[in-house]
């Protein structure tokens, strides 16, 4: 069962997810007894027009080293092999989760992440990007729950398969996808191949992550029974973003 722990004491239920004008529907398999990791609520400022249009002026290349010097392989039972070449990171197929987290000191709010990702083999998520939202955390999922679910885990306790960010996409193995994630104090936005995929306000929402990816905090990558490759990954602070609620 994709991204769902195989423990008998947790009962599964089925939920039909429909996708409006797309006319597509998928059967989302969730685990009501498997709680999200407690995190926090973002008390966000109002959306700023200045935030939406500005691009980072400086970027930190997260994959510039030929080794895993900037990364730590997460201790996950049955995790696949993780290898690093100049500019590219490979997460091998594991029994379930394969994960790695960054060792760098990175922004926690008002930043943008860009990367290219592809699923080499497998049929579940090839991008499980866990990221900070101030004092909370979320995870961007691409290709989960059997290969096609995209969304953010978790909003008010609902994961990527069952909240307002949920949608369905066909992902081709061996094809590179451009991913862009923007995180501000008021919203989370994601673009896939330059098309807006997610734009969700997070003011007063309770943000959390699933327990499986706790090992990825504060910033990390994971795949589920899938070999994934990541390249051209960088992060930058957003200029001109002012949140009056924050105190530096």
Which CATH number goes with the domain that contains 176?
2.60.120.560
| 17 located within any domain | no
| 230 located within any domain | yes
**Which one has a higher pLDDT value, 119 or 240?**
119
| Rounded Cα gap, residues 120 and 91, in angstroms | 10
- Nearest CA to 217 among 92, 97, 108, 77? 108
Average pLDDT (133-150) is 98
| 39 located within any domain | no
| 99 located within any domain | yes
| 113 located within any domain | yes
For 10, the token pair is 């947790």
Task: Give the CA-trace dihedral at 199, 200, 203, 208, to 10 degrees.
Answer: -120
| Residue 233: domain span | 44-237
DSSP 238: P
Whole-model pTM: value is: 0.80
Average pLDDT (138-147) is 98
| 186 located within any domain | yes
Least confident of 11-20, 93-102, 168-177, 236-245: 11-20
Beta-carbon count within 10 A of 120 CB: 16
Count up the domains in the chain and report the number: 1
pLDDT cut 70: percent of the chain above it: 75
| 16 located within any domain | no
| 163 located within any domain | yes
Mean pLDDT taken over the chain: 83
């Amino acid at each position: 069962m994709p991204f769902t722990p195989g423990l008998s004491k947790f009962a599964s239920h089925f939920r039909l997810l429909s996708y409006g004008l797309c006319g597509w529907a998928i059967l989302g398999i969730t685990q009501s007894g498997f709680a999200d990791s407690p995190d926090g609520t973002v008390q966000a400022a109002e959306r700023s027009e200045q935030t939406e249009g500005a691009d980072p002026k400086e970027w930190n290349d997260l994959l510039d080293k030929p080794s895993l010097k900037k990364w730590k392989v997460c201790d996950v039972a049955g995790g696949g092999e993780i290898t690093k070449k100049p500019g590219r990171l490979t997460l091998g197929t594991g029994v379930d989760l394969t994960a790695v987290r960054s060792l760098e000191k990175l922004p926690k709010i008002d930043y943008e992440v860009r990367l290219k990702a592809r699923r080499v083999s497998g049929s579940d998520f090839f991008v499980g990007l866990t990221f900070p939202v101030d004092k909370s955390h979320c995870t961007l999922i691409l290709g989960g729950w059997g290969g096609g679910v995209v969304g953010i885990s978790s909003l008010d306790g609902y994961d990527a398969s069952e909240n307002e960010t949920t949608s369905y996409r066909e992902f081709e193995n061996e094809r590179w996808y451009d991913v862009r994630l923007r995180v501000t104090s008021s919203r989370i936005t994601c673009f896939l191949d330059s098309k807006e995929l997610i734009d969700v306000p997070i003011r007063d929402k309770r943000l959390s992550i699933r327990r499986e990816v706790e090992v990825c905090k504060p910033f990390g990558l994971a795949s589920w029974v899938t070999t994934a490759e990541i390249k051209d990954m960088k992060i930058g602070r957003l200029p001109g973003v002012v949140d009056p609620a924050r105190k530096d």
